[in-house]
Amino acid sequence: MATPEIIARLRAATGAAHARLEAALDLVERVADAGERRRLVAGFLALHEGAEARLAPWLAPHAGLEPGTRLRASLIRADLALLGGAVETDAPQAPEVGSLGRALGWLYVLEGSTLGGRTIHRALETRGLDARGLGFLNPYGEAAGARWRAFVAELDRLHRTGEADRDEIVAGGVDGFEHASKVLCGA
């Protein structure tokens, strides 16, 4: 599949933010410590819970996005329970979304993290670390590639039909990374 224009634009607009977040998160180091692992997963829960509340009304009418099986807060809650349950976080509230385009940009950020999740699981294995409480990082297992391609195809379709505005989608991706960075890294 050739890279759709909307994905190329999202990558151009958010690639640097992704690299900064990945470096600042220092995930594989942090999850080696049980307390840090629990705090990190609590951060992911705050990110997904907050974002999903904003996104759900925009995504619900679009069955092609498969929102029912993409939104992961409940999975993260179950993972956090394995690590001892909720901890206080002072995560800022997710901003208003305001358009389908913006919601899609945010969903790009949340779904894209399932690609990195597979790399993270492999890195844990290499270091001899278990993945307890981190299943949500790799929610689709072997189907990860297919689920990503299905999301990209639907995002591309909604962009090409004009149902979702290009600049709004890109702005949603930028907002999503900015918010993820605040919630997960406090910066």
Pick from 94, 96, 52: nearest CA to 77: 52
**For residue 146, with 0-12 CB atoms within 10 Å meaning exposed, 13-18 middle and 19 or more buried, which class applies?**
exposed
Q: Is 25 in the site for ligand HEM (CB under 6 A)?
A: yes
**For residue 166, with 0-12 CB atoms within 10 Å meaning exposed, 13-18 middle and 19 or more buried, which class applies?**
middle
- Of 61 and 142, nearer to ligand HEM (C-beta) is 142
Pick from 50, 26, 37: nearest CA to 179: 50
Tell me 33's DSSP state: S
Pick from 107, 95, 105: nearest CA to 168: 105
Q: Which stretch binds ligand HEM (CB under 6 A): 10-18, 68-76, 80-88, 159-167?
A: 10-18
Among 9, 11, 77, 182, binds ligand HEM (CB under 6 A): 11
- Of 113 and 138, nearer to ligand HEM (C-beta) is 113
- Residue showing the smallest CB distance to ligand HEM in the complex: 112
Q: Which stretch binds ligand HEM (CB under 6 A): 18-26, 74-82, 87-95, 157-165?
A: 18-26
Q: How far apart are CA 44 and CA 62, in angstroms?
A: 25
- Of 61 and 175, nearer to ligand HEM (C-beta) is 175
Residue ranges in 94-133 that form contacts with ligand HEM under rule CB under 6 A: 108-109, 112-113, 115-116, 119-120
Residue ranges in 26-45 that form contacts with ligand HEM under rule CB under 6 A: 27
Is 38 strand, coil or helix?
A: helix
Residue 10 CB, nearest approach to ligand HEM (Å): 6
Residue 113 CB, nearest approach to ligand HEM (Å): 4
**For residue 150, with 0-12 CB atoms within 10 Å meaning exposed, 13-18 middle and 19 or more buried, which class applies?**
middle
Positions touching ligand HEM (CB under 6 A) are 7, 10-11, 18, 21-22, 25, 27, 108-109, 112-113, 115-116, 119-120, 180
